[in-house]
Amino acid sequence: MSSVEEGDLVARVEGAAGVIRLNRPKAINAVTLEMFRDIDKALDRFEADSAVAVIVLEGAGERGLCAGGDIRTLWESSKVNGDLGKILWREEYILNARIKKFPKPYIAFMDGIVMGGGVGLSAHASHRIVTDRTKLAMPEVGLGFFPDVGGTFLLSRSPGEIGTYFGLTGQTMNGPDAIHAKFADAVVPTAKWPELREALTKVRPGVTAADIGKLINGFATAETVGPVAAKEPAIDALFGFDRMEDIFAALKRDGSEFALATLKTLNEKSPRGMVVTLKLLRLARTASSLEECLVREYRAALEVFRSDDFREGVRAAVIDKDRNPIWSPPRIEDVTPEMLAPYLAEIGADELKFN
């Protein structure tokens, strides 16, 4: 291994593996626009190199694969009516779609914290490894946003209403819950990763996805059901509605400890963000592809970028850290169809297009 000081993204060939390492450990590898561009270039190189049999995505440091996108920079651009949102999300979402269709096995090591943009780089991979330390979440509704980077596609394909629950509450999944929710494929203890990683660098060119799956399973535990999966019957009953008002009413009516704790969590989130999220999740259920969901997410993201709720959510969580956002409007009942409409409207020349 080279000891030379390296940039925010390390991309190099190790044996048969094209390794992509997010390399901002102090920021839990939060991803910048330049990093997305560097990942895309690395994938170009690895796709063309016949000696590269597999891609391995990992994060530097002990804290996690990736805490998400570089929210602070987006906030600063939003405040001055800048265009970083339009540029960054366009390139990020196109990259998410590319990962899903990448022609070589793409293995994501989802250790520690995996949130937001980190989910977009890993949960669309062909082989998604979680660990005994994984904390995976889509907490965007707490920022006046919604689960993007194909999050609506992934969450809408979780069993029952599990995806609705995770998308609206932003609650954390451990490794087995991530598998149950279809965000991951295998739990491999962190301690076994170095040995598995070494094995991945020694596979032969042309190795099949099935062969890689068998190799990973040799290191995996058989866990597939975590603490949230055990609550699935309750979650299905409480979240099986298409209107936020009905979900709130069901939680109040139920009155169980779980329902009241969930209600408390939802009451901290952006009402507008929740309404937009639920609508996008329901539309995603009938989507035929990840791309269809990303097109819809891009329209909604541009509207979010212009919104006071996004700036206020980021201010309260990331900038001032007072954890006391003043949402607009402040109540679910005040989110009108007219407020929702711009998040779903077509955007003409700005529509997201894939190559």
Q: Any idea which residues carry the catalytic annotation?
A: 69, 117, 140, 148
All residues at 6 or more sequence positions from 284 whose CB lies less than 8 Å from its CB, including other chains: 152, 153, 155, 156, 293, 296
* Helix H or strand E encompassing 114: strand 113-115
Q: Which residues contact 254 (CB under 8 A, 6 or more apart)?
A: 234, 237, 238
The label of the residue with tokens 């609206």 reads: 168
Determine how β-strand 54-59 pairs with β-strand 106-110: parallel
Q: Which residues contact 200 (CB under 8 A, 6 or more apart)?
A: 16, 17, 54, 56, 107, 212, 215
**Rounded CA gap, 153 and 164, in Å?**
11
Give one DSSP letter per residue of 21-66, joined into a string.
EE--GGGTTPBPHHHHHHHHHHHHHHHH-TT--EEEEEESSSSEEE
Residues in the chain, total: 355
* 61/112 Cα distance (integer angstroms): 10
* Buried b or exposed e, range 269-294, using 16+ CB within 10 angstroms: bbbbbbbbbbbbbeebeebeebbebb
As a whole number of Å, the end-to-end CA separation of the chain is 36
Per the DSSP assignment, residues forming a β-bridge with 10 are 21
Give the pairing type, strands 64-66 and 113-115.
Answer: parallel
